[in-house]
Amino acid sequence: MVSEGIIKCNGQREKMNELAETYINHLIRLFRQNKGATPSPTEHPSRRSFDETGTPFGPIVPAPEDHKAAKRAALKRDNYRCMVTGCVESAAWDILESKGALGEGAVSTSTNFCHIFPPSTNWGLEHPSKKSYAENVWKYVSAFGIEGDFHRLSNGLTLAGELHTAFDNLGLWFESKQDGPENTYITRTMRPIARVPTTEVTFTSTDPALELPDRRYLKLHAAICRVAHMSGAAEYMDKHDRDLEELSVLAPDGSSAELFTAHLQRRFLID
């Protein structure tokens, strides 16, 4: 699909620019998620919930239907730790310590459930404009052989806060090795991040019913990260963000229309 679009441009700069803008708005912006958003905090566990369910945060649902349930299930799956650094979710620290389940050298952190694909592109599409835009987005995604329901546990990772921000800003991605072990990845970053290993990481689940991040989703995310930085698209979108922050009102001559349109498209993806 990508090569076909390039061929159809027949080397014409204007058409090539339009094609590039299309992929920026429908693929790169898809993965470059809600920059600067404040994550919802992990609810504090109770001794009663642990005693009744065997987990610090209450019942676990293998197919979660909202963000809170997804985070709870992912924490159980990921042993209440960041999948990359191994740091323990701070809200679970006391209970895990009382059970002797921390391990030697444990360090605490605040974790987030980090979506690979934004959940709002797959549900909550009552608004006609949002539905239409989401349909266009998935038309491009399906060209890479990915379809289905993304509102599931395999669409997310438990990550420490700084890593979550880097992942959403295309500054952290995971590359699988050809013919390498299953669920084993090499971490890649745009710049060094504290405690992020430069070697392989292997994702494991504490429960076979709790599925690990989908290899295909991470592969597409990694490809988008590489293209965004190699092409300069990431810097282009950073500039859009800075320009939008400095924009107090729309320019009467219409010069800010493109910026406003890009902002609306992004809101359709993350709201």
pLDDT bin (cut points 50, 70, 90) of residue 232 is: low
Query: Which of the two residues, 193 and 25, has the higher pLDDT score?
Result: 193
pLDDT of residue 234: 57
Average pLDDT over residues 61-73: 77
**Structural tokens at position 268:** 């359709």
The whole-angstrom separation of Cα 212 and Cα 205 is 7
**Average pLDDT score over the chain:** 76
User: Mind listing the pLDDT tens digit for each residue in 252-263?
Assistant: 555 555 544 554
Higher pLDDT pick, 251 / 135: 135
pLDDT in tens, 30-46: 888 754 443 444 454 54
Residue 9 pLDDT level (bands cut at 50, 70, 90): confident
> How far apart are the C-alpha atoms of 134 and 122, rounded to whole Å?
8
* Residues in Cβ contact with 209 at an 8 Å cutoff, skipping those fewer than 6 apart: 62
- State what percent of residues in the chain have pLDDT above 90: 35
Of 104 and 48, more confident: 104
Could you write out the DSSP letters of every residue in 184-219? EEEEEESS--TT--SSEEE---SSTTSPPPPHHHHH
The whole-number pLDDT of residue 219 equals: 94
The reported pLDDT for the residue numbered 264 is: 45
What is the pTM for the complete model shown? 0.73
Rounded mean pLDDT of 52-58? 55
Tell me if 186 sits within 8 A of 175, measured CB to CB. yes
Q: What single string gives the DSSP state of each residue in the chain?
A: -HHHHHHHHTT-HHHHHHHHHHHIIIIIHHHS--TTPPPPPPPPP-HHHHHHHSSTTS---SS--SHHHHHHHHHHHTTTB-TTT-PEEGGGHHHHHHTT-S-TT--EE-EEEEESS-GGGTS---SHHHHHHHHHHHHHHHTTT--S---SGGGEEEEEHHHHHHHHTTSEEEEEPTT--TTEEEEEESS--TT--SSEEE---SSTTSPPPPHHHHHHHHHHHHHHHHHTHHHHHHHHHHHHHH--S--TTSTTHHHHHHHHHHHHHH-
Q: How are beta strands 172-176 and 184-189 bridged, if at all? A: antiparallel
Euclidean distance between the first and the last CA atom of the chain, given in angstroms as a whole number = 28
- pLDDT exceeds 50 at position 99: yes
Label residue 49 by pLDDT band (50, 70, 90). very low
Question: Which of 10-24, 133-147, 238-252 shows the lowest per-residue confidence on average (mean pLDDT)?
Answer: 238-252
